[in-house]
Amino acid sequence: MTALLPDAGPGPAAELAPMVEMWFRILAEHVPDDRDRCHACSGSRSAPWPCQVRVLAERARAWHAIGVHSRARTLRGPCGLSCALTVREREFLQVAADGYGDMQIALRLGVPERTVRTALRRIARTIGVADRDALLVLALRAGVIV
């Protein structure tokens, strides 16, 4: 896999690393306890689940993942081939990066499973990567998804 993905050096993903680390720390700490209250906020106040801190972290992460504007971003492959991505394709990539399979992505986003599978395969074929893992790694490195 390393042959497919040469070291791209610092880029958008490297610039976002501190922010992404903070989002994941917040998301990991602010989880529900046995009384359906936020575990991290329970010491200072009795915050119902989900607490406002977690909601803001999830919104910030989703906002960045989809992009500030609805314009397409371009994903460049290891051989220099590129593919302009629609907002919907970036949603498919983001949910796939969160660990969901094609069926779960389809259910979550309200589209047919075949649409998800076709879109991800088309992107991978267009930029010249062999599998889904390589596609997701490239998308993460390019800052298209977080």
| Comparison of pLDDT for 27 and 121, the residue scoring more | 121
Report the predicted TM-score, pTM, of the whole model to 2 decimal places: 0.56
**CB 59, CB 120: distance < 8 Å:** no
Q: Which of 37, 45, 42, 135 is nearest to 85 (CA)?
A: 135
Domain ranges within the chain, ordered by starting residue:
11-66, 70-146
pLDDT in tens, 89-139: 888 998 898 888 999 999 988 999 999 999 999 999 999 998 888 898 888
pLDDT in tens, 31-83: 777 777 787 776 656 677 777 777 777 777 666 665 544 444 788 888 888 88
Strands 73-76 and 82-85: antiparallel
- For residues 41 and 45, give the distance between their C-alpha atoms in angstroms, rounded to a whole number: 6
Pair of tokens at residue 92: 């498919």
Q: Which residues contact 113 (CB under 8 A, 6 or more apart)?
A: 102, 103, 105, 106
- Gyration radius of the chain's alpha carbons: 17
User: Tell me: domain 70-146, CATH 1.10.10.10, correct?
Assistant: yes
**CB 65, CB 89: distance < 8 Å:** no
- For residues 40 and 42, give the distance between their C-alpha atoms in angstroms, rounded to a whole number: 6
In this structure, the number of other CB atoms found within 10 A of the CB of residue 43 comes to 8
Q: Which of 65, 60, 70, 90 is nearest to 12 (CA)?
A: 65
